[in-house]
């Protein structure tokens, strides 16, 4: 059942990412890394639809996290990239090539290999401590460094760094969600007596601004793969260190876990650089620049022109 809920969450998350990217790509460049960006996007029905889909995905992922370890749920959520690719294919009626099939198989196989080799079990959400949460503080510092570096850089590096920072915060958010849901059985009041929901709201707002700024300033094939690759890495790290989730540590198990994670990252990159996403980017830029539907455009020049 957990697997079905996790996959369903990935479906809605993938749809939400694509719709938000479609809307954020036309946002004013002056809103970069500002809360005003969210206020501008609130007036776009397509973005609201993407947020609604994201909320459904988050609710389903919360249901999964309430019943299973973070290390088990996180790899399942990486499948959102596959569903984003399927959506792009349906929109532009372009068949899947060898790159897409190989990347999809690597991503799916990576999830299976990691779960089989690691066999994550034994997590205790109530067993966390301030000392253990210092890992999350470290992840936040890495995300902050990514944002600082993104402000200094331009071109492809900027949206990739912002997307990486957003993915790290999404991973922390998943860990906080796991902690907050552990108090459900004791009543809703107890949840708000703990610091977790307030940190969850704050990190949720910041991660949303970072993700939308990445979508606004970059291309889907450079932003979504970074988010999809970094979120499970941060989530798994928090699950193991903060909640004490156990992974097999034998030599063969460690090799299998490393191979599984490597396959996930490589598969994400291969799927994310798919020609389907290039077609989606061209459609977004045609809409922004008011070009005919079938007119070919130079993505790099058009993108730079939009940012200027």
pLDDT at res. 88: 63
d(CA 279, CA 92): 7
pLDDT one-digit tens code per residue, 149-200? 988 877 778 888 999 999 999 988 888 887 777 666 566 666 677 777 888 8
Q: b or e along 103-139 (b: 16 or more beta carbons within 10 Å of the residue's beta carbon)?
A: bbebbbebbebbbebbbbeebebeebeeeebebbeeb
Q: Are 85 and 271 in contact (CB under 8 A)?
A: yes
pLDDT at site 252:
86
Predicted pLDDT at 302 = 47
pLDDT value of position 304: 47
Instruction: Report the distance separating Cα 79 and Cα 72, nearest Å.
Output: 13
Report CA dihedral (133, 136, 137, 141) to the nearest 10 degrees.
170
pLDDT computed for residue 126 by the predictor? 66
> What is the per-residue pLDDT for 308?
41
pLDDT in tens, 84-109: 777 766 765 656 677 777 887 787 78
In the structure encoding, which two tokens stand for residue 21, read together? 């990217």
Q: Which helix (H) or strand (E) holds 179?
A: helix 157-181
Say if CB 20 and CB 47 are below 8 A apart. yes
CB 221 within 8 A of CB 277: yes
Tokens 């997307």 correspond to 163
Predicted TM-score (pTM) of this structure: 0.74
- Mean of the per-residue pLDDT values of the chain: 76
Residue-level pLDDT, tens digit, the chain, 308 residues: 777 888 888 889 888 887 887 777 777 766 667 777 777 888 888 888 888 998 898 888 878 877 776 666 777 777 777 777 777 667 656 566 777 778 877 877 887 787 778 776 666 666 666 777 887 888 989 999 999 998 887 777 888 899 999 999 998 888 888 777 766 656 666 667 777 788 888 998 899 889 888 887 777 667 877 888 788 888 888 888 887 777 787 888 889 888 988 888 888 778 767 666 666 666 655 655 555 555 554 444 444 444 44
> What are the sequence ranges of the domains in the chain?
2-307
- Please give the radius of gyration of the chain, using alpha carbons only, rounded to the nearest integer: 19
Both tokens of 139, joined, read: 């992840």
Interatomic CA distance for residues 210 and 198, integer angstroms: 19
């Amino acid at each position: 059942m957990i697997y079905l809920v996790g996959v369903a969450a990935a479906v809605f998350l993938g749809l939400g990412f694509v719709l938000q990217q479609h809307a954020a790509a036309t946002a004013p460049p002056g809103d970069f890394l500002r809360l005003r960006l969210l206020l501008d996007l609130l007036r776009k029905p397509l973005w609201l639809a993407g947020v609604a889909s994201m909320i459904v995905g988050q609710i389903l992922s919360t249901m999964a996290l309430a019943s299973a370890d973070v290390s088990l749920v996180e790899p399942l959520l990486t499948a959102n990239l596959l569903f984003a690719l399927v959506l792009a294919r349906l929109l532009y009626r372009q068949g899947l090539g060898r790159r897409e099939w190989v990347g999809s198989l690597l991503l799916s196989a990576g999830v299976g290999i990691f779960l089989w080799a690691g066999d994550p079990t034994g997590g205790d959400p109530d067993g966390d401590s301030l000392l253990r949460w210092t890992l999350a503080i470290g992840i936040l510092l890495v995300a902050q460094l990514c944002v600082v570096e993104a402000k200094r850089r331009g071109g492809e590096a900027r949206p990739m760094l912002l997307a990486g920072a957003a993915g790290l915060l999404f991973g922390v958010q998943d860990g906080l969600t796991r902690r907050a849901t552990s108090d459900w059985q004791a009543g809703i009041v107890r949840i708000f007596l703990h610091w977790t929901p307030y940190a969850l709201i704050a990190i949720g707002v910041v991660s949303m601004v970072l993700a939308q700024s990445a979508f606004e300033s970059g291309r889907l094939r450079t932003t979504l793969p970074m988010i999809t690759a970094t979120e499970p890495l941060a989530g798994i790290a928090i699950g193991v260190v903060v909640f004490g989730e156990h992974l097999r540590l034998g030599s063969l198990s460690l090799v299998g876990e490393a191979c599984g994670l490597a396959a996930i990252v490589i598969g994400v990159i291969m799927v994310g650089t798919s020609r389907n996403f290039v077609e989606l980017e061209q459609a977004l830029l045609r809409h922004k620049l008011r070009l005919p539907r079938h007119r070919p455009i130079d993505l790099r020049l058009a993108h730079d022109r939009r940012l200027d």
